[in-house]
Amino acid sequence: MCGIAGVWRKRDPIGGGDIADVARMMQALVHRGPDDHASWNDGRLALGHRRLSIIDLSAQAREPMLTACGQGVLVYNGEVYNYRSLRDTLRAEGRRFRTASDTEVVLEALHHWGPDQAIPMFDGMFAIAYFDARADALWLARDRLGIKPMSVAEMGERILFASEDKAILACDGVARTIDAREITLRLAWQSRDSCSSLFQGIERLPPAALWKISDAGVEKRCFWHVLDVLDAARIVGDTATDAEHMATLEALIEDSVGLHCIADTSLGAGLAPRVA
């Protein structure tokens, strides 16, 4: 995993003054990315990234990553497993690549096709902050199942976002007030969805969220919902045997494990002891 952090000013940029808060946020996220860290700002937006190097271990693949034209900027946590096929498609449409990383593919896809078209094409787990200077808009997105986290807080003239609540709490002037109602709900239900925070003023992007932040405000949308892709006719008309279902499930699991093993570094596996 990696860690991402950022501060967006709604108006009146102050010339990089938010970079100190981004540094605090990255320090709070150091455990998520021990291999590298960097930051970027243009006065209105400050971004930070803690890197755990998985694909393309070179310094060229570090983040925040900019397009060659400098008009697109990305910080990204996760992995998009179909990045090779997306890169081939982008190359066929004239895009050029400097790295072998999936990060650059994600950035070029967002900048070339736009988030609305690109993000539904990503097969993986991800939390993304992408800035398009051409439209002066910041896009925040989370994968379909909400595997990778993203916390957001609106504080006066600023919008803060990071991979974990505690990074936002590290910023100057952010209150650390517990949400008693949320604690009560967790105790009563014994579970809560991944949109909830224990701290007042902090929310989490829902799974499949695609938020656009601009001068017009925050536009909150989702790019996917399980009911939209559920094929009820296939389920009702299913005549496969239990053995065939088991074989299909085994193949799907093997395929998923294979996708999770895409890496340019050593892989490890851990097994928990079975308790009788």
In a structure prediction context, what are the per-residue pLDDT tens digits for the chain, which is 276 residues long? 899 999 999 987 766 669 999 999 999 999 999 999 999 999 899 999 999 998 989 999 999 999 999 999 999 999 999 999 999 999 999 999 999 999 999 999 999 999 999 999 999 999 999 999 999 999 999 999 999 999 999 998 999 999 999 999 999 889 899 989 888 888 888 777 767 888 999 999 999 999 999 999 999 999 999 888 888 888 888 888 989 989 999 999 999 988 888 888 888 777 777 665
Q: Which amino acid is at 75?
A: V
Q: What is the pTM of this model?
A: 0.92
Distance CA 259, CA 253 (A): 10
Contact present, 18 and 7 (Cβ < 8 Å): yes
Distance CA 89, CA 108 (A): 11
Q: Helix, strand or coil for residue 127?
A: strand
**Residue in 228, 146, 213, 234 with CA at minimum distance from that of residue 8:** 213
Q: Which amino acid is at 19?
A: I
